[in-house]
Amino acid sequence: MKAKGRFSGMRKKAKRIFLMALAVIMLLSLISMPCQAEFVPLCDCSKSKYEQDETIRCTAIFKNDGLWDQDYEIKIWLYDPNDRVVEYDRFKGHIKRGEVKSIRMIYSPPGGRWEPGGWWKFCFQVFGDYEKMPVKHCCVFQVEELPRPDLVITDIWSVGNAIYYEIRNVGK
């Protein structure tokens, strides 16, 4: 009986040591887990080509895939084809774990027309409660020059001192 009791006591002790080691491993894994939210970004400019006089609509979408709720700051830029900043905005807010935020920006052409040609960029960066510099996410689009009407004079005539003409638009 004594031999059996000895093994029983050793089993209990081994089991207790194993459970304590398991608890320590679990606590260490929790401590080493990142404490920040991980943002999953998506950039959407709904179209890849815009007319010169068209309003541009772009959306910055991001999701908190981290473990906790957190405050965030988002910076948004609109760059012209020469890589100059045309518009800049900044917003602050709070995002819950698993929540998706969507910020839609609407840009009207300055002076009634966008500069045609080249690639424009809509970019955003989401900053949260963590130390790493987040990546800037961009989507690109082109601004096409508006077609000019092609006017053709089809007939000319005069009556007295007045000159009359007939014009036909053969453009788009």
> What confidence tens digit (pLDDT) does each residue in 59-87 have?
988 888 878 888 889 999 999 888 999 89
What is the rounded distance in angstroms from the CA atom of residue 33 to the CA atom of residue 110?
47
pLDDT for residue 136: 81
Percent of the chain with pLDDT over 90: 16
Greatest CA span in the chain, whole angstroms?
A: 137
Quote the distance between the C-alpha of residue 105 and its chain's center.
11
Question: pLDDT-derived band of residue 18, with 50, 70 and 90 as boundaries?
Answer: confident
Host H or E run for residue 63: strand 56-64
* Separation CA 47–CA 141 (nearest Å): 7
Query: Looking at per-residue confidence, does 4 or 15 come out higher?
Result: 15
Residue 26 has pLDDT above 70, yes or no: no
Winning range, highest mean pLDDT, from 1-5, 90-94, 106-110, 135-139: 90-94
Residue 29 pLDDT level (bands cut at 50, 70, 90):
low
Q: Comparing 4 with 95, which gets the higher pLDDT?
A: 95
- What average pLDDT does range 146-158 have in this prediction? 81
Contact between residue 121 and residue 107 where contact means Cβ atoms under 8 Å apart: no
Contact 79, 105 (CB under 8 A): no
Q: The tokens 């409660």 sit on which residue?
A: 129
Rounded to whole angstroms, the Cα distance separating 21 from 13 reads 12
- Side chain identity at 68, as an amino acid letter? W
pLDDT in tens, 116-137: 878 888 998 888 876 455 778 8
Kindly tell me if the per-residue pLDDT of 48 is higher than 50: yes
Burial tier of 136 (Cβ tally within 10 Å: 0-12, 13-18, 19+): middle
